[in-house]
Structures are given as structure tokens and as C-alpha cells.
């Protein structure tokens, strides 16, 4: 949906989006507020600085000088379909000799990887140039996808696969003494993301390219990523990622595509009445482009990553020569650290400022790039009325907040970002002025909507919905909320109830605040003391009141509210999640603008997550369907249902799964030292470590299972339990203490169980360190059971559940996120369901708070076994204490582990029974693959393109 075609009812926001889009001065940051909230200093123009204003130029030859390119053998100047292994080998040798990163005589695996990647990149650059030259000619509408994360994984095998050159490159490398798989393993994962947010963004770019949609991706080029996870005896250890240490052969630096980004400074008003943002700290954002090839198409899109720096003149040579080296490089350090780390710790003020700088850098540089491209395509006459018909901008969550379309990815309070108003005023002073105006117009809209008859209701709605939390009302509406003066004696009298108890909410809050260690302890007064106080002289009363400190709630900017108010579309990422967004998280906004809200269930690319990571199973599917069309048209996977009981297919299916399991056995041995049996069930839970994802429930279930085994004879346990390898993986955020305790517990439990001779291969527990895309590409094809066990109503969607199902893995899970839709598609009988449902959660928490919860004895037994020291000397009372009590921060089992534990272990018994019947299990596996057809990111992208972006495929001949 373009801004110009929005319904008239969206009076506050969507009709004004067009004002944002049509005003060049507002977009470049030299506007004023005279014509509405949308004219503003959003992006500092270089015209206000001494440095020249740099704009993107038409990319005629992204690979460099034409004379150089013509000297490159075959690959760079031929279509991929005409390439043979000899010409590819020649091109690889060319890069090994003339674009070297290693010693001349060396052609080991690292150098072979670099040369091979550069050879592939030649083809990608040629296609990238032709793609965007085609877009320049047709001048159609394009989508711009902004995300703080792009978790791509390795590029080599994906690129040659999409170019249909896997066989040719394999043969070429064989001629040169290497094999393609070994060469590909030299590539580090690009450290540009962490979890599902980044993997989804990368899937979307793959689908956009494969479906020929005109688009750009925008992100940041993180030097050290989130972190590299190491496991020690003390648990998780974080070290910097080293993915750029030997360069990145896939990126193309664009020194001519550089934009200024401003922080701090002040806002001044000129003689013309226009406001300008001047002074402060200036940095440059430099573009690095990564080509994203489509599958069986020449369309190759660009992922533009911004790196930050300052020019050489900002190096203080005088300070350096005077010996003040830190001062000399201060500007460069401040600029470069913006792109050092993904999600830097924000416990400190400095950390908060750095995060805000990251988000603003992405927004500012990307918008300047988008605007420059629009201006260039417009030629001599730029008509800003056409901007909404040429550009659609999508935000992947609130991290980069803009006035465009917004995808919500969470219902968790900590992920619905709020920024300190004080920090934002210092860092982005002009933006705060604009946000204040948006907030004021929103309040005006709410006054019109709710009227002034019920002032208390109006005040409540404004407090809940406004963007600026805990800020004074703007002058335009403040008189509405002035309460009439009440005589002091009357006010004092109403502060005391009939039974003599103090009822002042303010006093109650003050007591709670002060007794929690924020000041001197204040006890509640007895009625006699209150009576005595009221009899004191008024002067004493005033003195006492003056001594009571005023409570100041923090003033914040609610970024999610800003996204909803200022955006023209808001979508959730699964049906249940979108319902929660509409009915709970943003219910008041939904009532105000129901037409803004949509659902776009996530999807994953079947190329990387099926065709390339699981070639054995993919070949079987192609054989039985009689076509490879399912790779671009996953609806064809549903046809597998007709073969779900075919014994020949069963035999082939089991063989492919075992082959993948054997690869994983080798990987586990290499990374952990543990030897596991391929005959056991591979039970996997891999995702970001978080209490709501309930890895703690999983490990408690494993502990209970192990305890029961130890209480049985060998014969009994072999009859009762199916052999399992329980595999967990994921990163805990560096400052998330409870998550890191969970990681340590998993490792401690594994260390005991894996060395227990009584148990042997009946149960193994493996924690896979440094889980990333490449590890997932090994784990997922080998999986047989996958756990998606978050507290119902707390997972937005999930995408790993889709990848597991697509690869024939059976899921155990709650009715949360996309699990609901997956279960519908694969069939209830092919999904192991347990646990409370989303609509029950609030009531269950209320019961817990009232002390009505009775824990299951089996739950208590598992906790006590851990606390007994069975898994080492570490004190897990702080971790398990979160499951105790009824209320309180970090208490009361907020994520309902105890409530769902009985249902969970009983469901696991059903899993054991089903796995014993391999014919039944194999049918369930086939039905999961068949039912996964809906969860392709191709389907999701078609829906975004149709319903939100208004873009169409632009086929490249």
C-alpha cells in the first residue's frame, strides 16, 4: 500500500506520510514545523558543513575499471550458463595470482577459498550491474528493507547453487587439487546478526532476488559481530568475532557512496524561519555492497552495509605529535566504534548512546541513499509527489525507527524499545522536536476521538498511547487536565480513610520506593500517629511535606508507539502473534486505525534451508515429484502426502536422514569430543537462550529422565526409554545472567550424563558451542525431533520451527507463534502438543500470585536433584529460585515452567512410543515436509509486495 493510496480515516499519520515523502527539504533536514509535523531536520545535509555533499552515482561497472575486467578470463564476461570447468579453473588461477591475499607459491585451502570466491563474485558483479541498470531504465517502485541484523551464513555454496554452477566449480577445483566442500568450509559466517531477526532478513533478500522483485537491503557492517561463544568450566565466554580478519571477498566497497551523519549539536532558527541542526559531532557512513543472487535468475540484489569513519583531516596531528595520542584519534575511535559490535551492552549511559548512534546511523545513511537514488532517477525535474510511488521502506522491528512500514517481532516489554528522552535530546535534538510535534498531534487526535466528557478516561488513554512517556502535556491540551484547587484541610482529610489508613497513592509509592533501598526507610503510620500529625500546626505540616522527595518517573520515547503512529502499516509475523498485537499489545491503536494492522506469517528460503543444506533429501523429493519446481513453488511439496505410506519412499527417506546424522556425529566429535550414536533419536533445541524460550524446561526434563533411568535396572531402562541424543545450542546475551546460568547447567548436566557408564548411548546431552547458520545447516537436516517450547503467547513466530519441519523433523511444542499454523498444515497427529494456551496465561499467573499453584512432585524432584549437587558444586539456587515463590522480580515462575512441566514430560513419553514405530515416525516426517509448503519466504514476500509495498517483479532478460 503506498502512502498516497491510504484510506482517508488515517488522518493523523498516513495522510501525513505523504508530507514526509514529498518534501525534499524535510527529508534532507532543512525544514521547519510551519507546514506540519512531517517537515523536519531528519537528516543533516552536507550543505551545512564544509565537506562536500556526496551522492551515489549510477553504477555502470561495479567491479571497477573496464580495462581491468576485460583481462579477467571468461567468468566475469560470460553468462553463467556458458561457463565450463576449464574457464572457471582459469579464472580462479587468475585471482590467485593477480588479486592475492597470500604468498605467491601458496595455494592452500584459505587461498583457494579467496580465489574461488572472487571468481564467483565476478559473475555476481556482472549480474548486479545489469540488475540495477535495468531498474534505472524501467524506473519502477522498489522496496528497501532496513534491519539491524542480516544473518546470512556462508555465501560460497549458496551463490554457486543459485547460479547453477555447483558442478562446474566442483570440477574446476578438482582440477586445481581441491574439493568444493573443503574450500567452502574455509569461509567464516558473516557476523552480521544473532537470531531469528537476522535469519529472516536474509531469507527475505534471497526471496526478493529469486522472485525478481526490485529491492535493496540495508544494514550495518559489524567488525566484531555479537560475539564468538566459547565454553569453559565456568560456562559461556564471549570473545570478539574474527570474520573480517582475512577480509571479506564478497563485499564491494563504494568509496563514492558516502553520507554524513550528525550527532549532538543544537537547533537554530534562521532569518527565513527555517530550523537547522548545526554543530555537534559529524561522521561519514561508507557503503559496502554484498551481492545477493537469485535462484535460476540473473537478478542479483544489493545488501548495502554501512561502515563508519571520519576523514583524515579529523586526525589531530598536533595532539599526536605532542604525545596526546588518545586525543588525536578520538574522532576516529568514536566513529569506528559505532560499527564494532552488534547490540553493545546498554547497562551504562555510554552503551545506550552507542546503541542509539547505531540505529540512527542506519536510518540516516539509508534514507539519504534512497533519496539520492530517487533524485538521480528523476532527472532534471524532481517531483516529490511521486516519491511514494517509487519507494517502499520496511523496518524489521523497532530497532531502526522510521515513519514507514513496521514489522513487530515481539510482545516482550524489553524488546518494545524505549529510549531516554534526555539522551535522545542530547544526541538528536532536532528529531526530538519533531517527535514532540507528532506526540502533540496524536494527543489532539485522541482528544477528538474520546472527547472531554470523561477526563479520567481521556487521560488514561493518552498516558497509555502517547509517544513521550511521563512528559508534561503539551500546552495546547494542558488546560484540560488542570484539576480545580481544593482547600488544604479538605485534601488532608481525604488522604485519611475512615479506619485511619493512609490512602495516598503517592505516599504508597514513596514507601515502596524508599524501602527498596532508594532512600531512608519510611514505615506506614499507625492511625493514632496520623491523627496526631493532622493536629500539628500547619507550618510544621508544610515543613514535613517539603522534606518528602518528589518521585520523578523517567521520561522516555516509546519507539514502538512511534512506529505505529507514524507508519502506514503494522504487521505481526504469525496469525496468533498478529492477534495478540491487535488485541493486547497495540489494542488502542488497532481500534483507532484497524486498517493499518496486518498479518504476514514468516517464511524461510527453501534454497538455503532445503535444496543446498540437504541435497540428499532434496534429490529424493525431486525424484518423487518428478520436478525441481518445488524449489520455487513449494506448494508442490504437498503432493508428497500421496506417497506418505510408500515403503520405497520410506527406505530412501530413512537413508537420507541417516546420512545427515552421520555428518552430525562427526561434527559433534570434532567440536565437543563426545561420541554419540547415529542409532539414537536426535532431539534438538537450538535458538537464542532466553527464559521465555524455556531451555530450562528442556534441561529439567532431561534431568528427570536421567534420574528415572538411574533408579531402574539396565533391562528396565532399555524397555522404558528410547535412546536419545539431546542437542542444545544458542548464545546467551553477555549481560543476561540467568540465560548464562542455563547454558552452564546444560553443560554440567551433559558432563555427568555423558560419562555415566550405566547410561551409555541411552542418553547423551550435547551443547553445541557458537551456534550459527553454518552449524544449523548441519543440525537441521539431521534432526528427528525439534523442541519449540516457549511459553504460549510469547514467541512472535519463530523460523527455525519452519526449517525443521521442512527437513522432515517432527516438532514438540506449545501453541505459540508459527507452531499453531505448522500444526494445522502438517496435521495434529504429526505434531506433539503440550502446555497451557495463550488465552490461559494471564489467569495462570494470577493464580500463582494468589498462592494457588501446587507444583507437581516430579517437578520438585527434578529441581531437588540439581540442588543436591548431582551435577557439580555450582550453586544453582539463584537459577532455580526464579521458579519459586509467587510474586516478585525474578520470582514466581513467570514463564510457567512448573505449570507446563507435567504435560511436557508426559508428551515426551508419547514421543518415545511414536519413535519405536519407525514406520509411523517416517510417515510423520514425510507429512511435516509436505505440510511445510506454506512456510516459504517466497510466499511471505509475495504478500508484502502485494499488500504493503506495492511492488511488482521486474524480470531481467
Active-site choice (555, 688, 858, 920): 688
Q: What DSSP line would sit under 478-523, residue for residue? A: GGGGPPPP--HHHHHHHTB-TTS-B--HHHHHHHHHIIIIISS--P
Question: For residue 681, what is its C-alpha cell?
Answer: 533419536
Question: For residue 930, what is its C-alpha cell?
Answer: 509436505
Q: Quickly tell me which residue has 539396565 as its cell.
A: 714
Whole-angstrom distance, CA of residue 201 vs CA of residue 146: 9
Whole-angstrom distance, CA of residue 775 vs CA of residue 729: 10
Whole-angstrom distance, CA of residue 150 vs CA of residue 219: 7
Q: Is 803 a catalytic residue?
A: yes
Q: Is 558 a catalytic residue?
A: no
DSSP 604: B
Question: For residue 820, what is its C-alpha cell?
Answer: 499453531
Is there a contact between 382 and 24 (Cβ–Cβ < 8 Å)? yes
Question: For residue 957, what is its C-alpha cell?
Answer: 532478460
Whole-angstrom distance, CA of residue 553 vs CA of residue 505: 14
Paired residues of 86 in beta bridges: none
The residues, ordered by sequence, that sit 6+ positions from 543 with a Cβ below 8 Å of its Cβ are none
Q: Is 731 a catalytic residue?
A: no
Q: Is 799 a catalytic residue?
A: yes
Active-site choice (121, 577, 608, 687): 687
DSSP 546: H
- Cα 482 to its chain centre, rounded Å, is 43
Active-site choice (95, 399, 636, 693): 693
Is there a contact between 781 and 197 (Cβ–Cβ < 8 Å)? no
Closest residue by Cα to residue 358 from 308, 418, 394, 409: 308
Question: For residue 692, what is its C-alpha cell?
Answer: 521465555
Whole-angstrom distance, CA of residue 330 vs CA of residue 326: 6
CA quadruple 779, 236, 747, 730: dihedral positive or negative?
negative
Q: Is 410 a catalytic residue?
A: no
Neighbours of 181 (CB within 10 A): 10
Whole-angstrom distance, CA of residue 178 vs CA of residue 172: 9
Neighbours of 562 (CB within 10 A): 23
Whole-angstrom distance, CA of residue 646 vs CA of residue 923: 9
Phi, psi of 662, rounded to the nearest 5 degrees: -65, -40
CA quadruple 657, 662, 665, 671: dihedral positive or negative?
negative
CA atoms within 13 A on the CB side of 579: 11
Active-site choice (361, 672, 799, 940): 799
DSSP 322: T
Q: Is 407 a catalytic residue?
A: no
Phi, psi of 506, rounded to the nearest 5 degrees: -65, -45
Whole-angstrom distance, CA of residue 421 vs CA of residue 658: 56
Whole-angstrom distance, CA of residue 503 vs CA of residue 497: 7
Whole-angstrom distance, CA of residue 42 vs CA of residue 26: 7
Alpha-helix runs per DSSP H in 687-772: 695-710, 714-720, 737-753
Active-site choice (121, 568, 803, 848): 803
The gap between the terminal CA atoms of the chain, to the nearest Å, is: 28
Whole-angstrom distance, CA of residue 614 vs CA of residue 653: 12
The residues, ordered by sequence, that sit 6+ positions from 402 with a Cβ below 8 Å of its Cβ are 146, 363, 367, 393, 395, 566, 567
Question: For residue 60, what is its C-alpha cell?
Answer: 555502470
CA quadruple 391, 396, 399, 401: dihedral positive or negative?
positive
Active-site choice (228, 262, 399, 409): 409
Is there a contact between 928 and 801 (Cβ–Cβ < 8 Å)? no
Is there a contact between 829 and 884 (Cβ–Cβ < 8 Å)? no
Whole-angstrom distance, CA of residue 333 vs CA of residue 310: 9
Residues catalogued as catalytic: 409, 687-688, 693, 799, 803
Amino acid at each position: 500500500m503506498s502512502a498516497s493510496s491510504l484510506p482517508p480515516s488515517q488522518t493523523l499519520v498516513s495522510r501525513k506520510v505523504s508530507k514526509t515523502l514529498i518534501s525534499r527539504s524535510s527529508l534532507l533536514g532543512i525544514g521547519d514545523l510551519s507546514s506540519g509535523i512531517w517537515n523536519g531536520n531528519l537528516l543533516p545535509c552536507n550543505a551545512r558543513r564544509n565537506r562536500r555533499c556526496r551522492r551515489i552515482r549510477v553504477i555502470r561497472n561495479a567491479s571497477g575499471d573496464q580495462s581491468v575486467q576485460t583481462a579477467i578470463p571468461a567468468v566475469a564476461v560470460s553468462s553463467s550458463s556458458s561457463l565450463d570447468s576449464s574457464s572457471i579453473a582459469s579464472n580462479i588461477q587468475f585471482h590467485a595470482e593477480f588479486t592475492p591475499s597470500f604468498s605467491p607459491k601458496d595455494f592452500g585451502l584459505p587461498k583457494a577459498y579467496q580465489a574461488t570466491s572472487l571468481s564467483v563474485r565476478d559473475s555476481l558483479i556482472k549480474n548486479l550491474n545489469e540488475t540495477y541498470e535495468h531498474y534505472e531504465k524501467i524506473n519502477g517502485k522498489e522496496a528497501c528493507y532496513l534491519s539491524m541484523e542480516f544473518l546470512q551464513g556462508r555465501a560460497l555454496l549458496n551463490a554457486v547453487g543459485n547460479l547453477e554452477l555447483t558442478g562446474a566449480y566442483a570440477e574446476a577445483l578438482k582440477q586445481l587439487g581441491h574439493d568444493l566442500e573443503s574450500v567452502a568450509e574455509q569461509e567464516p559466517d558473516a557476523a552480521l546478526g544473532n537470531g531469528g531477526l537476522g535469519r529472516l532478513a536474509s531469507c527475505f533478500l534471497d526471496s526478493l532476488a529469486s522472485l525478481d522483485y526490485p529491492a535493496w537491503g540495508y544494514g550495518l557492517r559489524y567488525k566484531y559481530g555479537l560475539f564468538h561463544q566459547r565454553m569453559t568450566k565456568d560456562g559461556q565466554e564471549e570473545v570478539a568475532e574474527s570474520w573480517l580478519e582475512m577480509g571479506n571477498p564478497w563485499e564491494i566497497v563504494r568509496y563514492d557512496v558516502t553520507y554524513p551523519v550528525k550527532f549532538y549539536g543544537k537547533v537554530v532558527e534562521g532569518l527565513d524561519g527555517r530550523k537547522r541542526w548545526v554543530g555537534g559531532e559529524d561522521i561519514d557512513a561508507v557503503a559496502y555492497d554484498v551481492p545477493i543472487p537469485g535462484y535460476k535468475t540473473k537478478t542479483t540484489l544489493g545488501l548495502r552495509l554501512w561502515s563508519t569513519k571520519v576523514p583524515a583531516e579529523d586526525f589531530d596531528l598536533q595532539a599526536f605529535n605532542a604525545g596526546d595520542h588518545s586525543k588525536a584519534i578520538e574522532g576516529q575511535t568514536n566513529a569506528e566504534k559505532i560499527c564494532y559490535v552488534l547490540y553493545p551492552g546498554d547497562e551504562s549511559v555510554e552503551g545506550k548512546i552507542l546503541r542509539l548512534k547505531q540505529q540512527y546511523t542506519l536510518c540516516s545513511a539509508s534514507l539519504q541513499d534512497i533519496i539520492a537514488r530517487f533524485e538521480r532517477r528523476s532527472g532534471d525535474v524532481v517531483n516529490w509527489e511521486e516519491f511514494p510511488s517509487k519507494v517502499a521502506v520496511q523496518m524489521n522491528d523497532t530497532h531502526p525507527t522510521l515513519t514507514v512500514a513496521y514489522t513487530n517481532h515481539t510482545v516482550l516489554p524489553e524488546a518494545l524499545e524505549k529510549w531516554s528522552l534526555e539522551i535522545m535530546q542530547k544526541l538528536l535534538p532536532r528529531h526530538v522536536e519533531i517527535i514532540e510535534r507528532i506526540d502533540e498531534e496524536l494527543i489532539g487526535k485522541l482528544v477528538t476521538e474520546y472527547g472531554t466528557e470523561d477526563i479520567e478516561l481521556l487521560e488514561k488513554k493518552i498516558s497509555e498511547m502517547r509517544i513521550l512517556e511521563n512528559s508534561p502535556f503539551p500546552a495546547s491540551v494542558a488546560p484540560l487536565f488542570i484539576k480545580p484547587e481544593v482547600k488544604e484541610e479538605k485534601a488532608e482529610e481525604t488522604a485519611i480513610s475512615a479506619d485511619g489508613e493512609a490512602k495516598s497513592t503517592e505516599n504508597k509509592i514513596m514507601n515502596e520506593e524508599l524501602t527498596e533501598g532508594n532512600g531512608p526507610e519510611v514505615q506506614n503510620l499507625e492511625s493514632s500517629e496520623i491523627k496526631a500529625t493532622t493536629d500539628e500546626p500547619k507550618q510544621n505540616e508544610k515543613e514535613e511535606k517539603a522534606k518528602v522527595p518528589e518521585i520523578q518517573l523517567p521520561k522516555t520515547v516509546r519507539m514502538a508507539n512511534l512506529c505505529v503512529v507514524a507508519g502506514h502499516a503494522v504487521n505481526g509475523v504469525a496469525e496468533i502473534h498478529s492477534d495478540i498485537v491487535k488485541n493486547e499489545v497495540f489494542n488502542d491503536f488497532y481500534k483507532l486505525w484497524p486498517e493499518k494492522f496486518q498479518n504476514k506469517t514468516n517464511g524461510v528460503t527453501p534454497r538455503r534451508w532445503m535444496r543446498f543444506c540437504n541435497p540428499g533429501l532434496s534429490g529424493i523429493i525431486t525424484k518423487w515429484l518428478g520436478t525441481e519446481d518445488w524449489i520455487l513453488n513449494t506448494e508442490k511439496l504437498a503432493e508428497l502426502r500421496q506417497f506418505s505410506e510408500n515403503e520405497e519412499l520410506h527406505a530412501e527417506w530413512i537413508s537420507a536422514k541417516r546420512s545427515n546424522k552421520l555428518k552430525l556425529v562427526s561434527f559433534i566429535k570434532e567440536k565437543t569430543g563426545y561420541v554419540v550414536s547415529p542409532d539414537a533419536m536426535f532431539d534438538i533445541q537450538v535458538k537464542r537462550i532466553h527464559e521465555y524460550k524455556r531451555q530450562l524446561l528442556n534441561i529439567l526434563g532431561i534431568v528427570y529422565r536421567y534420574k528415572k533411568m538411574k533408579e531402574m535396572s539396565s533391562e528396565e531402562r532399555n524397555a522404558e526409554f528410547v535412546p536419545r541424543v539431546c542437542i542444545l545450542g544458542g548464545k546467551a546475551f553477555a549481560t543476561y545472567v540467568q540465560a548464562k546460568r542455563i547454558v552452564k547447567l546444560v553443560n554440567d548436566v551433559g558432563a555427568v550424563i555423558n560419562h555415566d557408564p550405566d547410561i551409555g548411548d541411552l542418553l547423551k546431552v550435547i551443547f553445541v558451542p557458537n551456534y550459527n547458520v553454518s552449524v544449523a545447516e548441519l543440525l537441521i537436516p539431521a534432526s528427528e525431533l525439534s523442541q519449540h517450547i516457549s511459553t504460549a503467547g510469547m514467541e512472535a513466530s519463530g523460523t527455525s520451527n519452519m526449517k525443521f519441519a521442512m527437513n522432515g523433523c517432527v516438532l514438540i511444542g506449545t501453541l505459540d507463534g508459527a507452531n499453531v499454523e505448522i500444526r494445522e498444515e502438517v496435521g495434529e497427529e504429526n505434531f506433539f502438543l503440550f502446555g497451557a494456551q495463550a488465552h490461559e496465561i494471564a489467569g495462570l499467573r494470577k493464580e500463582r500470585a494468589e498462592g494457588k499453584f501446587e507444583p507437581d512432585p516430579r517437578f520438585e524432584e527434578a529441581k531437588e536433584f540439581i540442588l543436591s549437587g548431582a551435577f557439580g558444586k555450582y550453586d544453582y539456587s539463584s537459577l532455580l529460585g526464579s521458579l519459586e515463590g509467587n510474586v516478585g522480580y525474578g520470582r514466581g515462575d513467570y514463564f510457567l515452567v512448573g505449570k507446563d512441566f507435567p504435560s511436557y514430560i508426559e508428551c515426551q513419553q508419547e514421543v518415545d512410543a511414536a519413535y519405536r514405530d519407525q514406520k509411523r515416525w517416517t510417515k510423520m516426517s514425510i507429512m511435516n515436509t509436505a505440510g511445510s509448503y506454506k512456510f516459504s519466504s517466497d510466499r511471505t514476500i509475495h504478500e508484502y509486495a502485494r499488500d504493503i509495498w506495492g511492488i511488482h517483479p521486474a524480470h531481467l532478460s
